[in-house]
Every structure is written in structure tokens, then in C-alpha cells.
Amino acid sequence: MARSTVAAFLLASLLVPLAACGWGDRPGQDRFQPGGATPVEAVRELNAHLVSGDLAAFATDAVPPGLHARLDTAWREGRTRWPLDELPLSDTHPRALAALTVDDAETSLQGTFDRQFANAAGELRQAATALGLFAVQFIQQHGEYSDTEREHLSQVVAALSAWAAEAPLHDRKRAAQAITLLTVAARQARLDSAEDFAAAGIDAALQRLRPVVTAGKQAMALYGLDLDADIATMDVTLQSQTGDTANVRLQYTLADQPIDVVVDVERRDGRWYVSDFVANAEAAVAAGPDARPEPDTSDTAPSGSR
């Protein structure tokens, strides 16, 4: 798939497991408190932020305040980019954004699409199916995922692979529109390097990514995937609660495929948080300065200024 359509496909597969943490706005009295007043609210409020593209608010609500402050320190030191580290291929984000911001990005990306993918419906269908099978196998075998994450990601990737196999990814007009959406948004973000991410800090960097998230969802809609509408079908129910731990069930439809997963939620200092997010954030701040691998520069973007 061309980088424009790959970006849309990956954004869907990356954001859905985060966004699928509930639906709806939080009660007004809790508006400025992180976490949720109840287990169900803890998972619902995060989704509301992601539907609006507000990753900064997501990061604030996903973890206790003290942990968020430690995350900002680790972010500025280049030790983490959580919550982006929740997503596969997180180390490539600066390079991908840089490729979208060079002067000739639109022309270069459209040229790549025309040479390799325009009207290649059969090849793209096969690639989407193969990519989905590989991704599910990788998720099932990769040790860094919890059982809940592994189950959820596998369902999401399978649904999106089936969607991509039927989506008009070969369509030149849609590709041009997607490229325009993504390049404009990437230039607004002004996050072209790991140094840019670190200098901005967690809150400012995630806020600057908001137009990229919005553009990515708009690009997916061009190919028939309305991510927000799909997540709006979600049913969030409390399965069980014992003391400071609970299980919440999420049921929704993604690209016409049913998704059904149970997530663990825990209470800290009187507020509820999704356990996987807290555990991953704690691991991120505990990591040493060499925890993040060096970015791959073998396929850097062409030179040029914005």
C-alpha cells in the first residue's frame, strides 16, 4: 500500500484499541480530575478524548497525576513517548511525520502511489490479507502485550484486514485526497524529529498531534471506514468488581466485524484507571536512558524545508 493509505490503515489499527475504552462525556463534576469515578467511567472518558482527537487529555486521564508528571520528565529526556508507545511502530512516528512535511511531499507521495499502486486492486487486496495474518501472528507471539491487549489487538487487526481487503485502496483520487489531508496536518504538528517530541514535552506534543489524528480519521473515511461511528456502537458494562479492581466488558462493531473484550480496571487514590495503561506507563518511566532503540534512518525522507 502507498504510504498515504498505509498511514490511514495503521492509524485505524493503532487508535482503535485506545479509543475502544468507552464512549461518552464524563460528568461535569469530574471534568478536571484524572481517572474515572467508576470503572465504567474510567473506560468511557478515554474514548471521548480520542474521538475528539485529544491525545493530551487522554494521557492526563489515563494515569494518576504523579505518574503523569514522571512521564513528562521521561518524555523530555527521550526515554519514552507514552502513550504513543502503546502503538506498534512508535519509533517511526517522527520519521513518518518528517516525510509528510518536506516541500515536495504531495508530489513525491502521489508519484509513488501512481507508480506502484494505482489500479492495483488485486495486489492491494492480497497485501492487506497477508499483512493482517502476519500482524495477528506477531501480536499473539510478542511478549510485551498483556493477555487483554493481545486479545483486543488481534480482533481489531483481523477486522481491519478484512476491511482493507475490500476497500478501494487503489483509487487514485482518494489517495490524492488522503495525501493532502495528512501532509497539511503533519506540517501543522511541527514534530519532525525525536528532538522535537522531547523538547515539546508530553502535553504540548500530544496537543500538536491533534490535527494529525483528525486527518487520519478523515483519510480512513475516504475509504469507507468511519471509526468514530463504529465506536459509537459500543456497549460498556461492568462485569465484576472486588475492592480496588474491576473488569469491564466492551462490545462494539468495527468495519462490520464484532469486537468483544474484557479489560481490567483498578482504583488508585479514589479514582479508576485502565490497568494496562497504568502498567505500561509505569514501565515507561522506569526504563533507562537506552530503553528506546535508535530510529531507523535507512529510509529517511527526502531533504527539503516546510
What is the mean pLDDT, run by run of 10 residues, along the chain of 306 residues? 40 48 42 86 87 89 96 94 79 83 91 84 84 84 82 90 90 93 94 92 95 91 90 89 97 93 96 95 82 47 38
pLDDT of the residue at 88: 64
- Rounded distance, CA 112 to CA 58, Å? 35
Counted domains in the chain: 1
pLDDT of the residue at 32: 65
The one-letter code for the residue type at 159 is A
Domain contains 298: no
Domain contains 48: yes
Classify each residue of 182-219 as buried b or exposed e, where b means 16 or more C-beta atoms within 10 Å of its C-beta: bbbbbbebebbebebbbebebbebbbbbbbbbebbbbb
Give the 3-state secondary structure of residue 249. Answer: strand
Domain contains 306: no
Helices 65-76 and 55-62 sit at what angle, rounded to 10 degrees? 130
Task: Tell me which H or E stretch contains 16.
Answer: helix 3-19
Domain contains 300: no
pLDDT of the residue at 274: 95
- Rounded distance, CA 68 to CA 63, Å? 6
This prediction has a pTM of: 0.82
CA-closest candidate to residue 204, choices 62, 60, 90, 35: 60
Strands 257-268 and 245-254: antiparallel
pLDDT of the residue at 306: 35
pLDDT of the residue at 6: 39
| Alpha-carbon torsion (107, 109, 110, 112), positive or negative | positive
Domain contains 291: no
Strands 245-254 and 235-242: antiparallel
The answer to whether 232 touches 47, Cβ cutoff 8 Å, is no
pLDDT of the residue at 289: 62
C-alpha grid cell, residue 103: 516541500
- Rounded distance, CA 232 to CA 20, Å? 9
pLDDT of the residue at 290: 55
User: Cα separations (Å) of 7 from 92, 201, 219?
Assistant: 12, 24, 9
| Segments forming the whole domain that contains residue 148 | 3-286
Domain contains 294: no
Residues comprising the chain, all counted: 306
Q: What angle do CA 42, 144, 124 make, to 5 degrees?
A: 95
pLDDT of the residue at 133: 86
Domain contains 299: no
* Burial degree of 220 (CB within 10 A; 0-12, 13-18, 19+): buried
Domain contains 305: no
